[in-house]
Amino acid sequence: MVGPYRAVLGVIGNDIHVVALRLLDIALTEVGVETMNIGVNRYLDEFVEAVVTHDAHAVLLSSNNGEAELWCANMRRELARRGKGDIVLYIGGTLQIGLGSDLEIERKFLGMGFDRVYSRRGMPGEVARQLVKDLARKDAGETA
């Protein structure tokens, strides 16, 4: 899987918050990641199909309306079913409505199979640089 790396990114579920998605797309491109931005208001099957079609190395999901758990609870399982279970999987945004610390939210999404969770934090450039590091570690046989 040695670079150039390919990543699918988009906003999951009934969510049309596009600004962070566009900034992340720019940041990933600047660090040499080829992006397939599938846009907003997308669903699990659309992400999985984009990963398979573009032979992506990573998926970056965004959600800003707090419904992420509902829309992507089975993301890792569906990717595995299509032969992409080892893909690097990130999620970020406002991932939950109501109570819950960032640590609790992070634990929940890590438990769902995500490699990195950026709940209400994480600048696009920071996320892009971390993704390249994680992909390079994976190339070297290390864990993230």
- For 47, the token pair is 């992400």
Q: Do 5 and 34 meet the contact criterion of CB atoms below 8 Å apart? A: yes
Which residues are identified as catalytic?
15, 17
Separation of alpha carbons 86 and 24, rounded Å: 22
Separation of alpha carbons 84 and 77, rounded Å: 9
Residue 4: asked if its preceding bond is cis (omega within 30°), the reply is yes
- For 67, the token pair is 């419904």
